[in-house]
Structure 1
């Protein structure tokens, strides 16, 4: 009998996550390390952090972004290495080439993670499940392994990729998103960090099923624009687009980056930095008369560790209060509190696209929400005018004073 799952109807988005990638490459290159706890990271004698721990080290409680000194106490017999990032990039490129052999719609999130679109009929009529199995097989032949989540949107694919590790392939067929998500804790969804989880628990929301039933207005009051989007994602209704390499090279984008003299490690510092850089981008967008719907967040720890992620908005905007909060929502998908951040970048693109997404559910018939959004944008425009007339230092928010506001040059 033919497996009904092989007949996929609708979008098919995968998330490939290489299993304990750095440590796995080290064990591949050092056969004598196989089966032993291996930690890739900074020195335990300094302020280093763990980049990756092998699966043999994880039962001791060691995990990425943990201070190296703590990891040494938990697993004193582990093999330590500072890493070979040229080698990791080489292996990453080979893995990504396997995805590109199947579809040009690949969005690499980091050196060990990438979304890809294998919707039937776009570039292949083959089952998305069989494509994922082939990618996994090809990766295994390199001597490392990966886990893949497959669903109809990025949120489902990301969560699914973490359900069965290592070497897992978790498939969430179209129409089963809500039932798959409902029993999971809210923290399972990317974008919900420790602070958001605590606030949701205070509201009696502990599972994604409860979150899916939450009142949109109440969520907007509690979490801003991030609130309603969390509800839609928990319902399994997110509409995602995987942006291929052509978007990465699109010159029609407005962005800004800030490099900080001291690493940022606290959440409030990093959030303030994202909003600060977003304000710089918003000012440039308005001066150029541009509005876009694709938001990119970039975080860099050092020259060897840079992560980039994008999201789409349901409207065209030049307002940092809108796209900046979308960038903040990406933060928890890319960063764990305590991990150092040296550079923050925010970009907006998608200026000429034909946007036909669903209208913001909260704004439909909600005059108060529309007026609030308008007032915030008017405030940004007024700030632009003051700085233009009296200089970039004439008006600053508290977050800007922390980092030193400078109006960007075009």
Structure 2
């Protein structure tokens, strides 16, 4: 079973803002310099798709509504869906924030797998109010392709033995993992549909594509022996910001980094996680990208992470060059609560973190934050904290 939450980011935004329903929505960064993270089906009709530049997207669909996006809301929605799946199925793999593979092998001894798959989908829709599609098949590839055919908000079962019949009328570009270069070569030989590909001899594909020819031959027949990789906790969290105007002011960059680090450390504590490696990512105006990282003692506390991130900025940044994008990543995560540092921490420090987390969890991220993390030009008075 392959599950995909339809236009996930857009659906979550619409859940909290019903006025967006039925309208062309583009989620991403700055309308001039950002990249489309997600878009509604209304926008897709104009040729907009994920990964394209925001500038090109708004040329195709100038009336679209731009939404910056809220990764906290998306993460929470993803966790809700994951929890439901975890409770209902024996084995699953979380392929991304909005995509899952579920192994129902053997469940047919007790009940109909398609009925169970339908029940999983209906429960997710009922409890999260999000549209979702699924495909059910003998392997991961055909299941994913069935999901794509079932969208939006539908479901499709491809019985074992009918894979080739299902695949035949589809374009070769529908095969997951088949790149543009490979597709172009196949087009040159007059192979446009998967049915055309099914009639080609394996020897021909091996001659043209080498070992990849076997992979293409299998995919065209729905043969996929890949197993479900059980879900495991993520090993890193990160966030990054692309600026509408390149920035070369160190104070502004530090302010943004403090805000980003504070956000990530709060997320660590909320998920009962600790990090032992921190990293900074810098992209200059010419798209040249640099990363700097260092190992640290396990922690989830900003007063330890923030100085470390500031030091990484000093080491990674050539101060004569303006920055286009900056990011923070906390990795090598493990489960555990923040350990009190007997030499540096005190009861007031620990209670402060607990109070901040409770307020931000109840009223939303950044309700209470460090003054140093409030970006220059958008600062509001904060009576609770100051650096």
What is the match of residue 114 of structure 1? 100
What is the match of residue 101 of structure 1? 87
Deviation of the 1:102 alpha carbon: 2.3
What is the match of residue 70 of structure 2? 84
Deviation of the 1:259 alpha carbon: 10
1:37 aligns with 2:24: yes
Match of 2:225 among 216, 235, 239: 239
Output one character per residue of 1:258-282: Cα deviation in whole Å (capped at 9) or x when no partner.
Answer: 998659xxxxxxxxxxxxxxxxxxx
Name structure 2 gaps, 5 residues minimum: 236-278, 285-324, 328-387
Q: How does 1:307-326 map to 2 (within 5 A)?
A: none
Match of 1:193 among 179, 190, 193: 179
Work out whether residues 209 and 235 of structure 1, in 8 Å CA contact, stay in contact via their aligned partners in 2.
Answer: no
Work out whether residues 104 and 244 of structure 1, in 8 Å CA contact, stay in contact via their aligned partners in 2.
Answer: no
1:217 aligns with 2:203: yes
Deviation of the 1:214 alpha carbon: 2.5
- Aligned partners of 1:26 and 1:248: how far apart in 2? 24
Asked which structure has the greater CA Rg, the reply is 2
1:19 aligns with 2:19: no
Change in CA separation of 1:248 and 1:209 when aligned onto 2, cut-off 3 Å: farther
1:126 aligns with 2:129: no
Deviation of the 1:248 alpha carbon: 8.2
Match of 1:139 among 124, 135, 139: 124
What is the match of residue 182 of structure 1? 168
- Aligned partners of 1:66 and 1:179: how far apart in 2? 33
Deviation of the 1:77 alpha carbon: 2.3
Deviation of the 1:131 alpha carbon: 1.4
Aligned length: 244
Name structure 1 gaps, 5 residues minimum: 1-13, 250-257, 264-339, 343-410
Work out whether residues 31 and 66 of structure 2, in 8 Å CA contact, stay in contact via their aligned partners in 1.
Answer: no
- Aligned partners of 1:248 and 1:125: how far apart in 2? 33
- Aligned partners of 2:99 and 2:233: how far apart in 1? 18
What is the match of residue 358 of structure 1? none
Deviation of the 1:156 alpha carbon: 0.4
Output one character per residue of 1:55-113: Cα deviation in whole Å (capped at 9) or x when no partner.
Answer: 22222222211210111122222221111111101101111222222224211111111
Deviation of the 1:149 alpha carbon: 0.8
Q: What is the SS of the residue equivalent to 1:57?
A: helix
What is the match of residue 168 of structure 1? 154
- Aligned partners of 1:68 and 1:119: how far apart in 2? 42
Match of 1:72 among 26, 43, 58: 58
Q: What is the SS of the residue equivalent to 1:240?
A: coil
Output one character per residue of 1:312-338: Cα deviation in whole Å (capped at 9) or x when no partner.
Answer: xxxxxxxxxxxxxxxxxxxxxxxxxxx
Quote the RMSD (CA, aligned, Å).
Answer: 2.8
- Aligned partners of 2:56 and 2:196: how far apart in 1? 36
Output one character per residue of 1:159-197: Cα deviation in whole Å (capped at 9) or x when no partner.
Answer: 100012111101101111111111211111111122111
- Aligned partners of 1:151 and 1:198: how far apart in 2? 28
Output one character per residue of 1:330-383: Cα deviation in whole Å (capped at 9) or x when no partner.
Answer: xxxxxxxxxx9x9xxxxxxxxxxxxxxxxxxxxxxxxxxxxxxxxxxxxxxxxx
Work out whether residues 51 and 65 of structure 1, in 8 Å CA contact, stay in contact via their aligned partners in 2.
Answer: yes
Deviation of the 1:120 alpha carbon: 3.1
Work out whether residues 134 and 155 of structure 2, in 8 Å CA contact, stay in contact via their aligned partners in 1.
Answer: yes
List structure 1 runs of 4+ shifted beyond 3 angstroms: 246-249, 258-263
Q: How does 1:51-66 map to 2 (within 5 A)?
A: 51-66=37-52
Q: What is the SS of the residue equivalent to 1:52?
A: strand
